[in-house]
Structure 1
Amino acid sequence: MPEAAHPLQGGADRRWVWFALAAAIIVIDQLTKLWFNGAYSYGEVRTVIPGYFNFTLLYNPGAAFSFLADAGGWQKWFFTLLAFGVSGYLGWQIVQRRFSALMDCAAAFIIGGALGNVIDRMLHGHVIDFIQVHYYDSWYYPAFNLADSFICVGAALMVIDSFRHPN
């Protein structure tokens, strides 16, 4: 009996769809960063929803929540190599058809987000962040960008898929 087709296969090899999705995420991420980097001054904040949501322009030389931001520069290369390693592994799993459709989508989100932030590190030496969520003046979530959002959604999809396909 032939192996079951991948849910998005439809009889044809459509693994390229996941790589096209990752590429689209990179393009959207870079276009938004380019716009905010040109339209805002560093540290400028513009209110979108008073008390809850702002746009701003901040630079993060570290990783999530500015982890290792003051590490002296080696972290740029560490996070770049980590992003390439994770993206390469996830891409290879897509090529080898080792994932479900949901996991392929999650992998594409993570690849696109990770490589979007790598581009920033290589071009600017830091990641451009512009989304700020907060609760009035009592709580602020660290600023982030679309690449970060795609990475987080991809990770959440992987967790959901792990409950659907526990192995």
Structure 2
Amino acid sequence: MRLMARIAAFVLLLDQGSKFLVVQGLGLDRIGQMAVLPPWLNLRMAWNRGINFGLFAGEDAITRWALVVMALLISAWVWHWVTRRPHEGRVQLAAGLLIGGALGNVIDRIAYGAVADFLNVSAPFWDNPFSFNVADIAIFLGAAGLVLFTGDSKSGRA
């Protein structure tokens, strides 16, 4: 379980550190966007009040706190589920990614009222309108890892 805790802490620190650097250090919240490796990588500020791609976004406090509670409950459930019996390292890695990313976005919702998204990946002839952050990457990879690595191959059950 130490691996899961270390990965979660690393992701949380990397996520919050990158957000602090970009939002506070570079002032992206004021300037809006900055080309890094155009068109492939840009910094584009977006305040996400919902979940992925702004789904379930709402301006009210109920939505904000419901998403905080949901992320905390999911994180606690994943922690409990992984700690109730031994799992191999890749399962603990995936769980740590998901938990660290979820907690990073929870901190944003509490501190800013929304999640700070700033990474934008586009391509020539395609301008991606969406931004994301380190926590989003970790949540996606963690969820995918849990789906891929937690099945019981002997019985066919998860």
Please tell me the TM-score bracket, short chain as reference.
0.7 to 0.9
CA deviations on 1:72-122 (whole Å, 9 max, x unpaired) are 332211111111111111111232125332221111100000000000001
Structure 2: gaps of 5 or more residues: none
Q: Which residue of 2 aligns with 1:86?
A: 74
Q: How far off is 1:57 after superposition?
A: 2.0
Q: TM-score, with normalisation over the residues of structure 1? A: 0.82
2:94 pairs with one of 91, 106, 109: 106
Distance 2:64 2:86 in 1: 31
Q: Which residue of 2 aligns with 1:51?
A: 39
CA RMSD of aligned residues (A): 1.9
Q: TM-score, with normalisation over the residues of structure 2? A: 0.86
CA deviations on 1:128-162 (whole Å, 9 max, x unpaired) are 11100112353415100000000011122123215
The structure with the greater share of residues assigned to helix is 2
Runs of 4+ more than 6 Å apart: none
Q: How does 1:128-143 map to 2 (within 5 A)?
A: 128-136=116-124, 138-140=126-128, 142-143=130-131
**What SS does the corresponding residue of 2:18 show, helix, strand or coil?**
helix
Query: What amino acid does structure 2 have at the position aligned with 1:85?
Result: L
Q: Which moved more, 1:137-146 or 1:111-120?
A: 137-146
Say if 1:103 and 1:157, in contact at 8 Å, map to a contact too: yes
Query: What amino acid does structure 2 have at the position aligned with 1:105?
Result: L
* Percent of aligned pairs sharing the same letter: 28
Higher relative contact order (CA 8 A, sep 6+): 2
How many residues were matched structurally? Answer: 153
Q: Which moved more, 1:106-115 or 1:90-99?
A: 90-99
Q: Which moved more, 1:61-70 or 1:149-158?
A: 61-70
1:26 pairs with one of 12, 29, 54: 12
Q: Which residue of 2 aligns with 1:150?
A: 138
Structure 1: gaps of 5 or more residues: 1-14
